Amino acid sequence: RALSFGRFSGSFFAFFPSFFNGIYTGPQSTGNYDWGHLWFLAYLFAFSALALPVLLSIRRNGEASRILSVARHFATMPLLLLPALWTGLLEALFRPGWPGAFNLVSDWANVSMFLSFFLAGYLAGSAPELLQAFEVHRRPALILGATAFLARIATYALVAVPDGYNAANVVAQAFRGLAAYGLVIAAMGYGRRYLNVQGKMLGIARDLSFPLFILHYAPLTAATYLLLNSGLSIWTRWLLAVAASWSFVVVFTFLARFIPPVRSFFGIRQPSVRAKQRPGPIASR
C-alpha cells in the first residue's frame, strides 16, 4: 500500500520498522499501522459491549421477555420484510457520508448496519418463530433482495452516481440496504430449509472457520509475495496462494486441538468431543 501510494520506496524489511508509525485511516493518511481484516473482531467486541444490557435482559426473562414478544410480531408477512425499510434508511442516511473506513469511530454506515444485524441475529436465535418465518417466506425475501440488488446496479448503469450526498447516491445506497436485508433473510431461510443437518463435514467446517478468518491473511500474503515473480500465470499463482493459505490453516487447526489454550481461543472442539458426535438433525422443522 505504501508503495502504491508513493509514500515509501524500498524492501519489506526496510519498511517494517515504520509500520507502527501512525494509524492508517484511509488513502490520504500518512500513518501505516492498520488492523487489516481483524477490524471485524473490534467491531464485534464493541457491539457485544453496547448490546449487553439488551442481551442479558432477553436471557434473564426468556420467553417472557417483552423484547421477544415484540420481535415475534415480525414473524408474519408483510412485517417480516418491514425492517428492510430500516436498513435502506440507514444506508441512505449514512453511506454517502461515511462510505466505510472500518475505523470504528468514524464509520457510521457500517456501525449502524452491522449493529442492526447483530441485534436482529440475536433476536432470531432467541425466537424460533422468526427462524421458521425466514424459511417459510424465503422466496419473497429473495425476490426483495434480488430486485433491490438489480435496481442498484441499474442506477449506476443509467445515471451518474457521484460520491457524497446527492439524489442518485442516496437512492443507490437505499437499494443497497434493501438488498442487504432481503438477501440475508433469504440466505438464512434457504439454509434452514436445505442445510439444516448435522454431520462430520459441518463440524470440520466449524472448527476451521475462526482459524481461517484469523490466520489466512499471513500465509496468503507470504505465498503471493514468493510467487510474484515466478513467471506463472495469474490463475496458477492465485490457486497456489489460496492452496497454501488453506493448507496452513488446516494443519494449524489439527495441531491446535491438542493445545488447550490455543484450542479454546480459536473455538476448536476437543478431539474427544469430535469423536463422540454423530450425524443427526439439528432441530425439527
Residues of the chain with pLDDT under 50: 274-277, 279-285
Q: Which domain holds residue 225?
A: 200-281
pLDDT at residue number 27? 66
Question: Which of 167, 195, 223 is the last residue in one of the domains?
Answer: 195
Number of domains in the chain: 3
Q: Is 164 exposed, middle or buried (0-12, 13-18, 19+ CB in 10 A)?
A: exposed
Residue at which a domain ends, from 195, 216, 232 = 195
One domain, residues 153 and 204:
no
> Do 174 and 56 share a structural domain?
yes
The pLDDT of residue 196? 80
**133: nearest Cα among 179, 181, 189, 78:** 189
Residues 152 and 78 grouped into a single domain: yes
- Same domain, yes or no: 155 and 51: yes
Provide φ and ψ at 33, rounded to 5°: -70, 130
50 and 177, same domain (yes or no): yes
Are residues 172 and 238 both part of a single domain?
A: no
Assess whether 148 and 206 both reside in one domain.
Answer: no
My answer on whether 123 and 158 are in the same domain is yes
Q: How buried is residue 80: exposed, middle or buried, by Cβ count under 10 Å (0-12/13-18/19+)?
A: buried
Cell numbers for 173, please give them: 445506497
Q: How far apart are CA 127 and CA 146, in angstroms?
A: 26
